[in-house]
Structure 1
Amino acid sequence: MNRYSIMVAAVLGFSTQAALVTESVGYQVDGQEFQGYLAFDDRLASPLPGVLVVHEWWGLNDYIRRRAEMLAELGYVALALDMYGDGREANHPSEAGEFARASLASLPQAERRFNVAREQLARHPRVAGSPMAAVGYCYGGGVVLHMARSGAPLAAVASFHGSLTPKANPLPAGSNIRIAVFNGAADPLVPAEQVATFRQEMDAAGADYVLVNYPGALHAFTNPDADRVAAEFKMPVGYDEAADQDSWRQLQTFLKDSFE
């Protein structure tokens, strides 16, 4: 585990001593190479539920790898997937925006990128037929909500500070996927109107959902690196320790209930 991962673990109050196995997982989509990151606790008996983790617009970086490890510490097999290809990571908002826009320019292609990773996780011998969920952060939050609306075979999805606006069709009535949204009430990228419209969509579909709106929390409130990003790039983001810890506690209950 690198120094950044240890720092994140310390801020979030989690032990780095779990008997974790981590490995890079390579796969191809439409002829392009992708690099995911798999984590599980090899002390636990299989099969275990699988959880896909979708990165922020920065790409599959140390922060998302650590989130996959934290899910593995909870007893899941976690696969942080690569939505950009070739394991690309952005170092500047302009580059991140370019990567994100290109990845979503074709929604069918974006869905294939997600689903190939999902199939990789479903075939893993430690998952092997167990139910699966998906968790996404920022850009990834929008992705997992889109996959829920598209009918992906998942038990549940959870979005952290992600866009709530449908990228295509809204959630269909009768969908049995469970949905959790953890949002910053002070996030200018997800204004109150968007939150209200999302609630209307979920209610119209009769969805099994929870939406938690944290007062004063900004975009990227779960990422300890957000304050540095705000200062360096003059972006409206910021870490909120209380919202981060509460949303993580609620996620644990949400996943446990979804897999029962």
Structure 2
Amino acid sequence: MYRIVIFLSFILLSSFNFSQEKSCCNVSVSFASFGEDKSFREVHQLPKDFVLKDAKGRMIKFSTADGKEANAYYIQSPKPSKKFIFVFHEWWGLNDNIKREADELQKELGNVNIMALDLYDGQVATKREDAAKLMQANNKTRSMEIIRGAIEFAGKDAEIGTIGWCFGGGWSLLASISAGKKGKACVVYYGIIENTPETFKDLNAPVLGIFAEKDGWITPEVYGNLEKNLKAAGKKVTIKSFIAEHAFANPSNSNFDEKATKEAKELTLKFFKENLMK
């Protein structure tokens, strides 16, 4: 499976003729290629109808350097705080499930600003085929502009943590790399980017990677290679794998593993408290 991912990545990179200077954006292409895999689409169950009630946050817009505006679900810290967590959605888009995750983070961590970034510019899928199309059509340059705009919004003295699931897991890594010295904690749930040790030269944040041993795409070999390259780059990384399937932490998924999800969330909160909230 790892060889297939690399082969697909090579084809896609060649087709799009990305320049070397944009290598930080290329890394999500191989993940997007999973959208062509019927079995990958089918492992993602249709999201259960869920409407977030008593939301803690609100939708905001902020400027991006490409002259546009970006969207985010924003929960402001109850007390003035320079600490931020950027939340990255799954392939479905910024739906109420992700907003609920953002609300829970703010509730558990306290004085921190939460921004759930919308990398699809307002589009949200409710069908697998539409989610696959959105993921494959995701504009990497635009997404990086959204991330940079969020970093600018947070301010020059901000301390930034990131978290994402599946498609968003790779973007969590990219955002922490882009944050540079402002990056304090990066959490990745069963997501990946193409990487070598050089990929992480600007990464300041320690990384917590949460993966599933039964994942047919982000396999132990794939996330083992991620761990190896992070360590080779001299970065702090903790990998926790569960005997579970891809997307095990999504309560809308038939592969939802309540016990593993509870443990993963406890690890996530502990990680943020130790690295961002101290």
TM over 0.5: yes
CA distance in 1, matches of 2:191, 2:164: 8
SS in 1 for 2:171: helix
Alignment partner, residue 117 of structure 1: 150
Q: Which of 168, 173, 188 is the equivalent residue of 2:216?
A: 188
CA distance in 2, matches of 1:205, 1:102: 31
| TM-score after normalising by structure 1 | 0.78
Q: What amino acid does structure 2 have at the position aligned with 1:92?
A: K
Alignment partner, residue 31 of structure 2: none
Q: What amino acid does structure 2 have at the position aligned with 1:100?
A: M
**Distance apart, 1:257 and its partner CA:** 1.1
Moved more, 245-254 or 139-148: 139-148
- 1:147/1:48 CA distance change after superposition, 3 Å: closer
- 1:34/1:193 CA distance change after superposition, 3 Å: same
**Distance apart, 1:256 and its partner CA:** 1.0
CA distance in 1, matches of 2:204, 2:61: 31
CA distance in 2, matches of 1:165, 1:246: 27
Alignment partner, residue 41 of structure 2: none
- 1:27/1:41 CA distance change after superposition, 3 Å: closer
The 5 A counterparts of 1:92-131 are: 92-104=127-139, 106=140, 108-120=141-153, 122-123=154-155, 129-131=157-159
Q: Which of 269, 273, 277 is the equivalent residue of 1:252?
A: 269
CA distance in 2, matches of 1:247, 1:184: 11
Alignment partner, residue 80 of structure 2: 46
Length, aligned pairs only: 225
The 5 A counterparts of 1:56-71 are: 56-71=90-105
Alignment partner, residue 90 of structure 1: 125
Alignment partner, residue 113 of structure 2: 77
SS in 1 for 2:208: strand
Alignment partner, residue 159 of structure 1: 188
Unaligned runs of 5+ in 1: 7-15, 228-237
CA distance in 2, matches of 1:167, 1:67: 31
SS in 1 for 2:114: strand
Alignment partner, residue 34 of structure 1: 70
Is 1:204–2:240 an aligned residue pair?
A: no
Alignment partner, residue 9 of structure 1: none
Could you tell me whether the CA contact under 8 Å between 1:136 and 1:160 is conserved in 2? Answer: yes
Structure with the larger helix share: 2
**Distance apart, 1:3 and its partner CA:** 5.2
SS in 2 for 1:111: helix
Could you tell me whether the CA contact under 8 Å between 1:155 and 1:177 is conserved in 2? Answer: yes
- 1:113/1:3 CA distance change after superposition, 3 Å: closer
**Distance apart, 1:149 and its partner CA:** 4.0
SS in 1 for 2:125: coil
Moved more, 56-65 or 87-96: 87-96
**Distance apart, 1:109 and its partner CA:** 3.0
**Distance apart, 1:58 and its partner CA:** 0.4
Q: How much identity, in percent, do the aligned residues show? A: 25
SS in 1 for 2:183: coil
SS in 1 for 2:58: strand
Could you tell me whether the CA contact under 8 Å between 1:175 and 1:205 is conserved in 2? Answer: no
Alignment partner, residue 234 of structure 1: none
Alignment partner, residue 199 of structure 2: 170
Q: Which of 169, 174, 181 is the equivalent residue of 1:141?
A: 169
Moved more, 149-158 or 176-185: 149-158
Q: Which of 252, 258, 268 is the equivalent residue of 1:225?
A: 252
Could you tell me whether the CA contact under 8 Å between 1:52 and 1:133 is conserved in 2? Answer: yes
